Amino acid sequence: MNGLPWRSRKKLKTWKPMKMNTQQHKIWDAAKAFPTGKFIALQPYLKKQEKFLIEYLTSQLKELESKQKENPTANRRKEKVKIRAEINDMETKKTIQRINETKSWFFEKINKIDELLARLTKRQRERTQILKIRNERGDIITDTTELQ
């Protein structure tokens, strides 16, 4: 599931019919596994395709630059700008996707840490809570309503 976009993974994990017996669970798991496998298998293909497109555009750009050195024209300059803009756009999208994946991973980890910290602080509060107190006469009071 690591190759899936964050939202798709979340939908696959969270959406389930409410009441199911074990047979329905097996069917549901199989039905969920099929598209997950398809998504996972599709990711390397998409990455290869994107990499090929970037390599093709950079080779075109180099070719145009060499032609521009020999015989400069305005049309070649415009084409170079278009190709550079397309390459930059693709790289920007890839960077934004990596940032979003990192953010989601970070927040998932932080949420786990927050749960642990909440448990620890709750335990510490329970340990330090005053359950007994002595009044002016020296008697020990354990009733919580009297303590307040």
Segment 133-147, tens digit of pLDDT: 666 776 777 666 665
Structure-token pair, residue 19: 């009441």
Check residue 84 and give its pLDDT. 92
Q: Which residues pair with 141 in a beta bridge?
A: 133
What are the boundaries of each domain within the chain? 23-147
pLDDT digits (tens, 9 = 90+) for 14-42: 555 555 567 777 788 888 888 888 888 88
**pLDDT above 70 as % of the chain:** 74
Helical (H) or strand (E) element with 133: strand 133-134
**31 or 83, greater pLDDT:** 83
> Is residue 96 predicted with pLDDT exceeding 60?
yes
> Is residue 56 predicted with pLDDT exceeding 90?
yes
Q: Is the dihedral of CA 86, 91, 96, 101 positive or negative?
A: positive
What mean pLDDT do residues 92-116 have? 83
> Is residue 86 predicted with pLDDT exceeding 90?
yes
The residues, any chain, with a CB within 8 Å of residue 17's CB and separated by 6 or more, are: 24, 28
